[in-house]
Structure 1
């Protein structure tokens, strides 16, 4: 049975996505998550999930960071980004970070169903009115390189990176994640090596580069 995970922190929009998905695939199994931690919990419990419908902004994920983490930890799971950020430059970045397609939040239920079907069949999907503008933009080497580096992080290392980027000290990170401080130090060393950075500031700046401004305005 096909299995979908709807990841969005707005209950009404999750309901809209659930309705569109169930109409397109009446026999599919639908799961929901309201934050990034719940997304990882769901995938850990059911790694055979076929597709994640991922909002770019929800607790634990700001901009492209959740997508980057998800693609890094579960590269075999297809991801369709669902967002109000429908600028061609943002969509281009979404694709560069490994998404199989992009659904604007203004999409009709029919378009959502079409996107889901196309991606589950191994294809890609973009809104027809934006596809040409996105195709005209070249892939950004900065994004593709960063996606490759972030993909090397473990799930726990990504959590440490997120807290590190918030300015937390090793002891604070250890307390938050309920791990030993020496374990945090080991993770930080591994993060620097995998991301090819020299210090906490550079690591934080890399993560910050994945943030997006408010919908309708580029970051």
Structure 2
């Protein structure tokens, strides 16, 4: 594990009880992580959710001190949540998590505003040490991510950013393909079994990741990629 000390005027741990929120698509993982944190003696009220949009609302209201979020959380991805929280100057410290096969996505999120990064197969000891370091105001990178990070930086023009397509979640890619088929927001909502508000949230995230301003520019971007072929084939 790599710990990068960061000058901070904040206490290592607030004197009051921490408000902790855990976001993941899998309920079993949520329960396991909450149990691990409780067993480690973390003085906190721990909440869990599978809905990252609801988590974003809590962050915006400054009701969270420490957030653990899966990088592929839905409807908003973990990197998107961290970036929005940074823009809002939310007080929460954010630790992003990923499955081992998603290391590249986690490394791509290094500049998102999160301060801790771990794959889900990290040892409990390393993970809890990292949590303590984050609460002390430091920046933490799990041992399992060091090789991936160095490889990315060693590439010509290397950086910690993934391509726009890499940053799209599976749900976002699906919605983008539907946009390419000229599906309306109500039609997308009905097809996905989600609210129109959630569809709009997805679209905002898609536009941001693709660096486009609106639906028309997103369709033009789509037409230049293999995803665009999916839209044509299914039309």
Q: What's the TM-score bracket when you normalise by the shorter of the two chains? A: 0.5 to 0.7
Match of 1:153 in 2: none
Match of 2:196 in 1: 177
Query: In the superposition, relative to structure 1, how do residues 47 and 199 fare at CA in structure 2: closer, same or farther (>3 Å)?
Result: same
Match of 1:140 in 2: 159
Counterpart check, 1:99 vs 2:114: yes
Query: In the superposition, relative to structure 1, how do residues 120 and 203 fare at CA in structure 2: closer, same or farther (>3 Å)?
Result: farther
Contact map agreement 2:20 2:66 (CA 8 A) in 1: yes
Match of 2:42 in 1: 26
Shift of 1:2: 1.9
Give the structure-1-normalised TM-score: 0.62
- Residue 131 of structure 1 aligns to a residue whose secondary structure is helix
Contact map agreement 2:52 2:73 (CA 8 A) in 1: yes
Task: Please list the CA deviations of residues 173-219 of structure 1 after superposition, one character each: whole Å capped at 9, or x if unmatched.
Answer: 799436xxxxx8xx98xx69x735762314668xx99xxxxxxxxxx
- Residue 57 of structure 1 aligns to a residue whose secondary structure is coil
Q: Distance in 1 between matches of 2:160 and 2:124?
A: 34
Q: Which runs of 5+ in 1 are unaligned?
A: 147-159, 179-183, 210-219
Contact map agreement 2:105 2:162 (CA 8 A) in 1: no
Counterpart check, 1:53 vs 2:71: no
Q: Distance in 2 between matches of 1:164 and 1:90?
A: 19
CA RMSD of superposed structures (Å):
4.1
Q: Distance in 2 between matches of 1:93 and 1:140?
A: 8
Report matched runs for 1:55-94 at 5 Å. 55-61=70-76, 66-75=77-86, 76=90, 77-86=92-101, 88-94=103-109
- Residue 100 of structure 2 aligns to a residue whose secondary structure is coil
The counterpart of 2:212, out of the listed 189, 195, 198, is: 195
Q: Distance in 1 between matches of 2:189 and 2:35?
A: 41
The counterpart of 1:43, out of the listed 56, 59, 71, is: 59
Match of 2:4 in 1: none
- Residue 199 of structure 1 aligns to a residue whose secondary structure is helix
The counterpart of 1:114, out of the listed 103, 119, 129, is: 129
Query: In the superposition, relative to structure 1, how do residues 25 and 135 fare at CA in structure 2: closer, same or farther (>3 Å)?
Result: farther
Contact map agreement 2:175 2:188 (CA 8 A) in 1: yes
Q: Distance in 1 between matches of 2:125 and 2:115?
A: 18
Q: Distance in 1 between matches of 2:221 and 2:49?
A: 28
Q: Distance in 1 between matches of 2:34 and 2:51?
A: 16
Q: Distance in 2 between matches of 1:86 and 1:25?
A: 30
Q: Distance in 2 between matches of 1:174 and 1:90?
A: 27
Counterpart check, 1:126 vs 2:118: no
Shift of 1:123: 1.4
